[in-house]
Structure 1
Amino acid sequence: MNAIVQTILIGIGATLTMDIYALVLKALGIKTLDYRFVGRWIGHLPKGRFFHHKIFDSPPITGELMIGWVAHYLIGITFAFLLVAVHGKKWLAGPSLLPALFIGLITVTAPFLIMQPAFGFGIGGSNLPDPNKARLMSLITHSVFGVGLYISALIISKFTT
C-alpha cells in the first residue's frame, strides 16, 4: 500500500476515533461540537464572512451538516499528512505513540486560534461561559485524535508489512 493511501486511512481512522469518543461523551450527557456549525462557517466563507458574532445565530447554509462532516474528515486527513511530513515514511512502517500524540496536541491550535474566534467564541474559547472547561475538552479531544493516529497507523502497518 503506498504512503498516500496509508496516510489517508490513518487520518480517517484517527478522526473516527475522535468521533467514537464524542459519542461516548454524548451518551454521558456531555455536549460536543455539532459539525453543522463547521459547515455553516464554511458556507459563509464564499460570501466573505469569516467571523461570526455567534455562529449559532448566523443564517443556516443548505447542506451545512454534510459540509461540516466532510470538512471534519478532510481536516483529520490533512493532520495525518502533517504527521507523516514531520516524521517521514519511516513512521508509517513503525508507528510510535509520542509523535502521533504530539501532532494531536499541536492540532488543538486550529480550534483555539481559528475555529473558536471565527465562531464568535474568542481565542481559546475565551468568550464561552466556561472557557477553561472548553479548553480542557479540546485538549482531551485532540489527544484522543493523536492516539487515534497511532492506533490507526499501527493497524494499517500490520496489513502493509
Structure 2
Amino acid sequence: MATELIIFILVVGIGSTIVLDLWGVFTAKIGWMPGTHWPSVGRWLLGIPAGHLVLDGTDTRPHTLSEAAVGWIFHYLIGLAYAVSFPLFWGIGFISAPTVFPVFLIGVIVSSLAGLIVLMPGMGGGIFARKLPNAGAMIVYVLVAHVIFAIAQYLLALLLA
C-alpha cells in the first residue's frame, strides 16, 4: 500500500501541476493571461526571511537561477501537498475510489484561495488581486486555471484507481 500511496502522490501531484503549467503556456500563447512567473515567486520566498513579505516591483534585477529553482520547486511541492491531502483527509481508500467533492474542494477552492489570498498579495497584487488593474479577469483566470488543475487531479486519480 505504501508504494501505491507514493505513486498516487507523485502522479497526481506532479501530473496535475504539469497540466496547470501547460494551461498557463496556452493562455499566454492566445494572449489571455500569462501563467505565474515562478522565478518571481522564488524571489518573494527568498525575501521573506529578510522581512520582505511583499514584492513591491522596485527590484528590477534579472532573476537568478536560485530564484527560479526555488519558485519552481515550491510550485511542484504545493502540487504534491495537494495530492497528499486526499488520502490524508479522506483516507487511504481515496486512492482506489477517488470522488469529485475532495478534488473540487482541494483542487478548486483551496488552491484558488491560496493563490488569491497568499500568493497574489505576496507578489504585490493584493488580496483577490485588488491592486491590479485587471482584478476581475485575474480572479476568473485563477478560478479557470484551478478548475483545469482539479480536472487533471481527478482524471489522474481515476487512471490510477
Q: In structure 1, give the amino acid aligned to 2:102.
A: P
Counterpart position of 2:138: 134
Report the equivalent of 1:36.
Answer: 39
Please report the TM-score for the alignment, with normalisation by the length of structure 1. 0.87
* Aligned: 1:103 with 2:106: yes
Q: Larger deviation: 126-135 or 88-97?
A: 88-97
1:43 touches 1:61 (CA, 8 Å); kept in 2? no
Give 2:160's aligned amino acid: I
Identity across aligned pairs (percent)? 26
Q: Unaligned stretches of 5+ in structure 2?
A: none
Match of 1:153 in 2: 157
Q: Which moved more, 1:99-108 or 1:130-139?
A: 99-108
- TM-score, normalised with respect to structure 2: 0.87
Gaps of 5+ in 1: none
Residue 87 in structure 1 maps to residue 90 in structure 2: yes
Q: From 46, 49, 52, give the equivalent of 2:52.
A: 49
Give the deviation of 1:91 after TM superposition: 1.4
RMSD of equivalent CA atoms? 1.8
Runs of 4+ in 1 over 3 A off after TM superposition: 56-62
Are the aligned partners of 1:53 and 1:119 in contact in 2 as well (CA < 8 Å)? yes
CA contact (8 A) 2:96 2:160 kept: no
**Cα deviation, residue 96, structure 1:** 2.6
- 1:6 maps to a residue whose letter is F
Report if the CA contact (8 A) 2:21-2:35 is conserved: no
